């Protein structure tokens, strides 16, 4: 049995590099901010994983550790988690005994969340290593530069608010 003839292989034209659509005058700030976040979280994330926490779960615990009983909408805003995702995150955290949810006594349409004793102990434990990392950043950058970084970020956030 013979094989059918193959079509001839035509040479492909060379791929020429394309110039950028428009040269940018500034560095990619969103990418730099993400890169900075990942650099900082690279020190924190292993400790979170060691305690079975995702980044999102830690952000929720940090909000609750700082503010106590918090309405879920505020948790979503302060932890930067979209509402539908927050529902799943809170369900897993409640299942793991880290938080408890209940109806707001003043407004039954709203739900409030608070960390359990187990969740608060986790915040205490993790805050030690996180604060140690911040101390290292302060010593490395200098207190003034770190303060300046915080101020610049606060100013940028305020500037970009609608």
Residue 4 has pLDDT above 80, yes or no: no
CATH code where residue 119 lies: 1.10.10.10
Question: Does residue 101 fall inside a structural domain?
Answer: yes
Question: Does residue 48 fall inside a structural domain?
Answer: yes
Question: Does residue 156 fall inside a structural domain?
Answer: yes
| pLDDT tens, position by position, 36-84 | 999 999 999 999 999 999 999 999 999 999 999 999 999 999 999 998 8
The closest of 74, 75, 66 to 94, measured between CA atoms, is 75
- What's the rounded Cα separation, in Å, for the pair 8 and 119? 68
Question: Does residue 54 fall inside a structural domain?
Answer: yes
**84, HSE (Cβ side, Cα atoms, 13 Å):** 0
- What's the rounded Cα separation, in Å, for the pair 105 and 127? 31
Range of the domain at 120: 29-160
The three-state secondary structure class of 112 is strand
Question: Does residue 140 fall inside a structural domain?
Answer: yes
Confidence of residue 1 (pLDDT cuts 50, 70, 90): low
Question: Does residue 2 fall inside a structural domain?
Answer: no
Q: What local confidence, expressed as pLDDT, does residue 104 receive?
A: 86
Question: Does residue 133 fall inside a structural domain?
Answer: yes
Q: How many domains does the chain have?
A: 1
């Amino acid at each position: 049995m013979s094989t059918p003839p193959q079509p001839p292989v035509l040479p492909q034209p060379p791929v020429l590099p394309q110039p950028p659509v428009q040269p940018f005058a500034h560095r990619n700030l969103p990418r730099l901010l993400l890169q900075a976040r990942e650099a900082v979280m690279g020190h924190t994330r292993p400790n979170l994983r060691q305690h079975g926490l995702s980044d999102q779960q830690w952000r929720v615990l940090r909000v609750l550790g700082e503010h106590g009983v918090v309405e879920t909408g505020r948790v979503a805003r302060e932890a930067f988690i979209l509402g539908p995702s927050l529902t799943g995150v809170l369900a897993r955290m409640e299942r793991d005994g880290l938080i408890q949810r209940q109806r707001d006594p003043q407004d039954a349409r709203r739900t409030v969340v608070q960390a359990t004793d187990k969740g608060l102990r986790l915040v205490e434990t993790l805050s030690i290593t996180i604060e140690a990392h911040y101390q290292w950043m302060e010593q490395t950058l200098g207190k003034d530069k770190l303060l300046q970084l915080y101020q610049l970020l606060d100013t940028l956030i305020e500037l970009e608010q609608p």
